[in-house]
Structure 1
Amino acid sequence: MLKFVKEHMQTIDGVATYPMISLLIFFVFFTLLFWWVITASKAHIREMGELPLDNDNQQNL
C-alpha cells in the first residue's frame, strides 16, 4: 500500500511544495500565538484563569 502511495505521489508535478506550504502555515500560526502570549496583559490572563473558579457566573441547570 505504501509503495502504491509513494509511486502515485511521485507522478504529481510540484508535490514538494505542499509540505513547504504547510510548514510555513504552521510556523506563522505558532509565531503569532507566541507573540500573543508574550504581549497579552497579565490582568486578562489572570481573569481568564479564574473563570472556572468563579461562583458568581454559574447557571442553575
Structure 2
Amino acid sequence: MLKFVKGYMESIDGVATYPMISLLIFFVFFTLLFWWVFTASKSYIKEVSELPLEEDNQQNLEL
C-alpha cells in the first residue's frame, strides 16, 4: 500500500509545495492566535470566561 501511495505522490507535479503551504497556513494561524491572546482586553476575557457561570445561575433560578 505504501509503495502505491509513494508512486502516486511522485507522479503529481509540484507535490512538494503542498506540505510547505500547509506549514505556512499552520504557522500563520497560530501566530495570529498568539497575537490575539496577548492583545485581547482583560475585561473581554473576564466577561467571556464568566458566561458559562451566568447560564448555570439562570437555569438554577428558573427551577
TM-score under structure 2 normalisation? 0.84
Partner of 2:27: 27
Partner of 2:49: 49
Aligned residue identity for 1:47: E
Runs of 4 or more consecutive aligned structure 1 residues displaced over 6 Å after TM superposition: none
Higher helix proportion: 2
The gaps in structure 2 that reach 5 residues or longer are none
Please tell me whether residue 38 in structure 1 is matched to residue 45 in structure 2. no
Distance in 2 between residues matched to 1:48 and 1:36, nearest whole Å? 15
Distance in 2 between residues matched to 1:26 and 1:35, nearest whole Å? 14
Distance in 2 between residues matched to 1:33 and 1:22, nearest whole Å? 17
Over residues 17-58 of structure 1, what are the superposed CA-to-partner deviations in whole Å (9 max), with x where a residue is unaligned? 000001001100100000000000011001111111112488
Distance in 2 between residues matched to 1:9 and 1:38, nearest whole Å? 40
Aligned residue identity for 1:46: K
CA shift, 1:2, in A, is 1.1
Aligned length: 59
Structure 1 vs Structure 2: percent identity of aligned residues?
Answer: 75
> What SS does the corresponding residue of 1:14 show, helix, strand or coil?
coil
